[in-house]
Structure 1
Amino acid sequence: MKKYIKLGALAAIAAAGLSLYSTTANAQTRPRTGIKAGLSASSLFYDNANATDKKERIGFHAGVFTQLPIGSAFAIQPELLYINKGASSGYSAIGNTGRNSFNLNYAELPVLATIKLGNFADIQAGPYVGYLLSSNVKTEGSLGNVGVNLNPDQFNRVDYGLAGGVNVYFGQLLIGARYEQGLQKIANTTASQAVLNNARNGVGLLSIGYSFN
């Protein structure tokens, strides 16, 4: 009798294990859609002899994402984000000193290849393309404090580059970290190139999100 009880218990454990595996695999192959937001820390990579003491611009990003599984361990994740980029630097020219703050705001579409580590974490990498929505340069120093809404046509409207990062899930909540490196030069005119030279965007993102499914 004990033998049959043991065999029954083993069968029940095996059935429970198969059920758990099936549930986990099914969860991994369902689309995942949600919202995310958080901080952005942006730099402009450029070489200008008059620019000193370069600092990041601390801003924010927010948007939506959808994760489309391709099998149980791989997915494609497109996103649509609003994101702050830019930086600040000191300047010294013709006896005048001060600080310029470059504020660039984009709508951005990353498309990320995603390696799924179960339902608990993702590793992601892929390209992004962004569109410049607005731009602002603020000058503080011996020339006074001035805020100027520069025409975005002074800059390349389209930005593109590569992104990579990780997500960790706590049920439907997620925490993510990512870095994006722009490949497109920002400046588009002689005047903007005189200040920014061959500057490109670089930004780190720290996100908190919620998955609806």
Structure 2
Amino acid sequence: MKKLFIGVAFAGSLFINAQEKTKSSSPITFGVKAGFNATTISRNDEKDGYYDNDQKMKAGFNAGVFVNIPVAEKFSVQPELLFSQLGSKSEARYRNSEGNQTVTVEANDKINLNYLALPVMVQYNILPQLYVEAGPEFGFLLGGKSKGDVTITERSGNFTSYQSEKYSDKINMDRFNRFNVGIGVGAGYYFTPQFGVTARFTAGLTNIMKDDFDAFKARNNAFQVGVAYKFK
């Protein structure tokens, strides 16, 4: 939480500094935005002949507000406050053999992680209606849910048995770091002075799991596309 406050304070200082610079230039504008998330969690699990963990993209959404603060003729700073759904789908397979007995475990899991995100983007206008952007994103984990199924297959000689189970549970918040940091790059195009489309990729920089609970490192990654509307 302390780090999130530091991020907010950083964004606030940019806002105050930009206000002083824009008194005689382009006006500060406020807006709303929403869009689609395609997200994954990158992990450093080891893969070998007995264990494999395949991460796949998960769909989610983002929505929130922003303020665009011109700081020079073609540059502006845009802090945003978003609700953003991150996470991933995974297919894991584990096999263990001893003598004539083989046990195979197959698991399909989808984890949804809900964040309050504060991106602070520096934007450069290539054209009046077209911009590119880059900047940090600070996030605070609000909660989440994990659901999926597990199938266990046991083979011993000519005998085979199956066990299958489905689950759906809230995530154990004690296993996750509440604060998340990423770096984003993107672009946007405004068809009118008010309405535009946006695209951004954000790569996680910090481990979302606590070291006390998990040996592997995991980071959020998100590709976002959406629409934005600036108020006059």
Taking structure 2 as the reference length, the TM-score comes to 0.74
Is residue 2:145 matched to residue 1:126? no
Q: How much does 1:189 deviate? A: 4.8
Q: How much does 1:118 deviate? A: 4.0
Q: Provide Cα deviations, 1:137-195, integer angstroms capped at 9, x if missing partner.
A: 1121324110111222211100001001001001111100000001011111544x25x
Equivalent in the alignment of 2:177: 156
Instruction: Give the alignment's Cα RMSD to 1 decimal.
Output: 1.9
How many Å separate the matches in 2 of 1:51 and 1:206? 31
Higher percent of residues as helix:
1
Q: Highest CA radius of gyration, 1 or 2?
A: 1
| Helix, strand or coil at the partner of 2:69 | strand
- State, as a whole percentage, how many aligned pairs show the same letter: 31
CA contact under 8 A between 1:51 and 1:89: conserved in structure 2? no
Equivalent in the alignment of 1:184: 206
Aligned with 1:45 (options 39, 42, 45): 42
CA contact under 8 A between 1:123 and 1:167: conserved in structure 2? yes
CA contact under 8 A between 1:155 and 1:189: conserved in structure 2? no
Between Structure 1 and Structure 2, how many residues are aligned? Answer: 185
How many Å separate the matches in 2 of 1:173 and 1:47? 41
CA contact under 8 A between 2:42 and 2:55: conserved in structure 1? no
Equivalent in the alignment of 1:56: 57
Aligned with 2:197 (options 156, 163, 175): 175
| Helix, strand or coil at the partner of 2:149 | strand
Aligned with 1:141 (options 147, 150, 155): 150
How many Å separate the matches in 2 of 1:126 and 1:203? 14
| Helix, strand or coil at the partner of 1:62 | strand
The 3 A distance-change label for structure 1 pair 51 and 212 is: farther
How many Å separate the matches in 2 of 1:105 and 1:70? 32
Matches within 5 A, 1:1-213: 29-48=26-45, 49=47, 50-93=51-94, 95-142=104-151, 143-171=164-192, 172-191=194-213, 193=214, 197-213=216-232
Higher percent of residues as strand:
2
Q: How much does 1:33 deviate? A: 1.2
How many Å separate the matches in 2 of 1:57 and 1:211? 29
Equivalent in the alignment of 2:11: none
How many Å separate the matches in 2 of 1:46 and 1:96? 20
How many Å separate the matches in 2 of 1:35 and 1:66? 9
> Where does structure 1 lack aligned partners over 5 or more consecutive residues?
1-25
